[in-house]
Amino acid sequence: MTNPLLLIATADGVRTIRVNRPDKLNALNAATLDALDAAFADAAVDDAVRVVVLTGSGPKAFVAGADIAEMNALSPVQGRDFSLRGTRMMRRVEKMPKPVIAMVNGFALGGGLELAMCCHLRIAADSAKLGQPEINLGLIPGFGGTQRLLRLCGRAATLELCLTGAPINAERALQLGIVNRVVPAAELEAETMKLAAQLAGSAPLALRGMIDCVNIGGECGIEEGLEYEAAQFGLVFSTQDMREGTSAFLEKRKPAFHGR
């Protein structure tokens, strides 16, 4: 699949997807949202892919937001459709059966922070800036920002970020639980790929089960979540990977997982 809006490469089970609009700080227009949706749909079913790393091209931005020039011309109905377009794509990422790591290499503002938050893990450069500045445009977050911030860092921090629109640095984002790790900018790619390689060597079906359990558990009551987890736990007993992993442990060797 080739699209100039994205740079896509795959090596050793890790697919890297780079938003490729550096002259626009990788802003998300409708065409880029559609390209990302197609790219993640493809990665979900490609057996050569075990982990996805998502980032932005150029030294300045992960994704600096949605494309303001495009939004400026939208009617209310078109604005709602644009919001739903982005929401559908980001929900696809969130529900991916394979781990998705956001490599936050610079500005992650507005739609960019929303895109990072729908990934399963987030590693940020110490130079990154994150925020929901929509209030400065007379807007509100439209790709799930209020909902995912609320789930990641709670009511008070969500309201602060959304109501003030002020960006925060990577260390503050780490304190709030918005990102998982902060590393020196010069080490960002190496550290992200190290984590991606670790996950690519793990049992794919078990990874999928854990992602599903967390997604389901985050949207239902504790009893339903526990019951779903128990069912998924039982299912992995039907996999060759479970037999391989437990046998390797007992035999004191490294397991070789094949996703079966």
**Active centre residues (catalytic):** 114, 134
What is the rounded distance in angstroms from the CA atom of residue 111 to the CA atom of residue 24?
13
Pick the closest to residue 32 from 52, 5, 67, 65 (CA basis): 5
For residues 188 and 103, is the Cβ–Cβ distance under 8 A?
Answer: yes
Strands lying side by side in the sheet with 100-104: 6-11, 14-19, 51-56, 100-104, 121-125, 181-183
Name the percent of the chain in helix, strand, coil, to the closest 5: 55, 15, 30
Could you tell me the two tokens for 15?
Answer: 């697919």
Residue 6 pairs in a beta bridge with: 19
Rounded (5°) CA angle 173-178-183: 60
